Amino acid sequence: MRDVLRRSSGGEIAGAVLIVLASIALLIGAFAAGAGSDYGMLGVIVAFVAGITGLGVHIAGREARLRRDGH
Question: 12-68 pLDDT, tens per residue?
Answer: 999 999 999 999 999 999 999 999 998 999 999 999 999 999 999 999 999 999 998
pLDDT at 18 (0 to 100): 97
How many Å apart are CA 54 and CA 48, to the nearest integer?
Answer: 10
Task: Kindly give the interhelix angle for 38-69 and 10-34, rounded to the nearest 10 degrees.
Answer: 160
HSE of 2 in the Cβ direction (CA atoms, 13 Å)?
0
Q: Which domain holds residue 47?
A: 2-69
Give yes or no for a contact between 29 and 44, defined as CB atoms under 8 angstroms apart.
yes
Q: Is 6 helix (H, G, I), strand (E, B) or coil?
A: helix
Per the structure, how many domains does the chain have?
Answer: 1
What band does 4 get if pLDDT is binned at 50, 70 and 90?
low
